[in-house]
């Protein structure tokens, strides 16, 4: 799991999501110009240490299972 204070949203790998994914025809691109194919959007329980929240997560191809973004950090007051 990675925590990225510059990422606006939280992302997860497709194999981490246990939910069926609708087909998404969009790419997400960062400020550096790097783009990833969006696989879908799911509502997921996300826990880190003693804080657990339900929030939308974008499903993309990642090297890590999950990338916690600013949305999670603000919601959990981390």
Q: Would you identify the CATH topology of the domain 2-76?
A: Cathepsin D, subunit A; domain 1 (2.40.70)
Look at residue 78 in the predicted model and tell me its pLDDT.
65
Look at residue 27 in the predicted model and tell me its pLDDT.
84
pLDDT at 72 over 70: yes
Look at residue 23 in the predicted model and tell me its pLDDT.
66
Cα 52-12-63 angle, rounded to 5 deg: 125
pLDDT at 67 over 80: yes
SS3 13: coil
Write the pLDDT tens digit of every residue in 37-61: 888 888 888 777 777 878 888 888 8
Q: Where are the alpha helices (DSSP H) in the chain?
A: 70-76
Which has more pLDDT, 25 or 8?
8
Spatial separation of the C-alpha atoms in residues 22 and 59, rounded to whole Å: 11
């Amino acid at each position: 799991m990675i925590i990225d204070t510059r990422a606006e949203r939280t992302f997860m790998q497709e194999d981490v999501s246990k939910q069926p994914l609708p087909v998404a025809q969009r790419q997400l691109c960062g400020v550096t110009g790097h783009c990833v194919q969006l696989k879908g959007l799911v509502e997921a329980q996300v826990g880190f240490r003693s804080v657990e929240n339900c929030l939308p997560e974008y499903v993309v191809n990642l090297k890590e299972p999950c990338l916690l973004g600013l949305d999670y950090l603000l919601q959990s007051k981390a």
